[in-house]
Amino acid sequence: MENQLRAPFNSIFKKVKIKFMKQYIISIRIVLLIVVLGGVVVSCKKMDDYKKYADGGEIIYPATFDSLKVIPGNGRAMITGLLSGIPNIVKFRVYWNDGLDSLEAPVVRKGKVDTIKQVIPNLPEGPRTFIVRTFDDKGNRSIPTTVTGNVYGANFQASVNERGNRAVFKTVFNKDGGAEITLADVDAYVNVLGMHIRYYDATNNVRDTVIPVQLKNQVAVVPGVSIQKPITYNTLYLPEPVGIDTFTVQAATLSAFTEVTLLNNIHPVANRANDGSRWATLRDWISNDAAQTHNTNGVNYGGTDISGDAKIYFEAGWGAPGITNGKIHQVCTLPPGNYSFEGEVDWWAVGSKNDSYLVAAAGANGLPDVSGLGTAISYKRVDNGSRAICTFTLTQQTTLSLGLLLDLASDGEAMRFNSLRLYIK
């Protein structure tokens, strides 16, 4: 009976319970939907917040520079970079000193990729950080780009002063009218850029030149130098392998030149061909056929004897024919000045004439014959003695032939020199 009474109530309870659960689930779903929709609204509001800074539009970031670098200088630096892409960039600004200082410059687009180079002046020595922004024609600015580098000044200059000028081992004046300066070797880390030279040329005009560095075995050649005015020089240093400014030291003066360096003119002399036992033809001298009178196997030689201490040597007689207008010479281009062409005689033998002359003749075509010596700039007959001296003065840059003229009889005549040298007086 009791069970029968409970049955209707249970049925009613289940229906109420089921209805309540459905309403509960629906309520939860409604709450969750409200929360989600509320979050979306809030999110949308936050996403739209930036519009109050962009006048209701999108934020636009112009293109920035690529490959930004800082090139160091003396109390300044140069910012370099590449700009490509959208062509509406109109200017850029560089900030430093924590943004307290800045510099603005226009951008003029010329191609698909443009290079900017902007010098920042009046900077203290030391490491520096720069921030770069670009701006387009609508006033939008780019994301900032940071680049670092160094600035040099008094401290680096003090270190350069301690190094001083690169050592000069030797200076010579060559027969082409140029100064040859032999420099000491340097290491790469010293960052020597080169050698600045100030000089007067053969026409008395002031010249400046920079000889790039060669770390080892460097001989700097400066053409067309005057022998009457000093040559000054100073070494150029860079604080880093690349820079916009060089540092240097007080200029030094090269010693005055005292000699024009001729080739193969001091014993032992070299030869360009020989007979394998005694006679040979001089190297670096222009010899005519008349100076080569010693025949071996159908080939003529003359100018030096290789059987002993090789010297400038000519011999006639003792089985060899005479030498008529035998000549050897070198071509020189010399600036105005006073010169002395000197031969140091080692040995001679006199027969019926032994006419030997030191000669300076105008032009590059060689020496005159004995009969035409009057056309030479200067000449001097070699007398029996230890030294023959032929002096001359040039009032303008001149190309000349300088050498030895021989007229030896076949009755036993000879002329041998330890050297033929050209001195500057």
**Spatial contact of 80 and 113, defined as CB atoms under 8 Å apart:** no
**Spatial contact of 292 and 300, defined as CB atoms under 8 Å apart:** yes
Domain boundaries, the chain: 66-151, 156-255, 271-424
- pLDDT tens digits for 368-425? 999 999 999 999 999 877 899 999 999 999 999 999 999 999 999 999 999 999 999 9
| Amino acid at site 39 | G
Residue 85: what pLDDT? Answer: 72
- Helix, strand, coil percentages (3-state) for the chain, rounded to 5, are 15, 45, 35
Same fold, 66-151 and 156-255: yes
In this predicted structure, the answer to whether residue 56 has a pLDDT above a threshold of 60 is: no
Residue 16: what pLDDT? Answer: 37
| Residue 140: both structure tokens together | 């939008």
Separation between Cα atoms, residue 306 and residue 231, nearest integer Å: 41
What CATH number should be reported for the domain whose range is 66-151? 2.60.40.10
In this predicted structure, the answer to whether residue 54 has a pLDDT above a threshold of 90 is: no
Among 1.10.10, 2.60.40, 1.10.287, 3.40.120, what is the CATH number of 156-255? 2.60.40
Residue 57: what pLDDT? Answer: 55
State the chain's mean pLDDT as an integer. Answer: 88
Give the confidence band of 25 by pLDDT, cuts at 50, 70, 90: very low
Question: Considering only 60-74, 121-135, 244-258, 364-378, which range has the smallest mean pLDDT?
Answer: 60-74
Strand positions, DSSP E, 11-98 = 66-72, 77-84, 89-96
Instruction: State whether residue 93 is helix, strand or coil.
Output: strand
Say which CATH topology domain 271-424 has.
Jelly Rolls (2.60.120)
- pLDDT tens digits for 166-212? 999 999 999 999 999 999 999 999 999 999 999 999 999 999 999 99
What residues contact 278, with CB distance under 8 A and at least 6 apart?
294, 305, 306, 307
Separation between Cα atoms, residue 131 and residue 102, nearest integer Å: 9
Give the confidence band of 283 by pLDDT, cuts at 50, 70, 90: very high
Question: Considering only 91-95, 106-110, 120-124, which range has the smallest mean pLDDT?
Answer: 106-110
Give the confidence band of 354 by pLDDT, cuts at 50, 70, 90: confident
Residue 86: what pLDDT? Answer: 66
Mean pLDDT over 19-47 rounds to 39
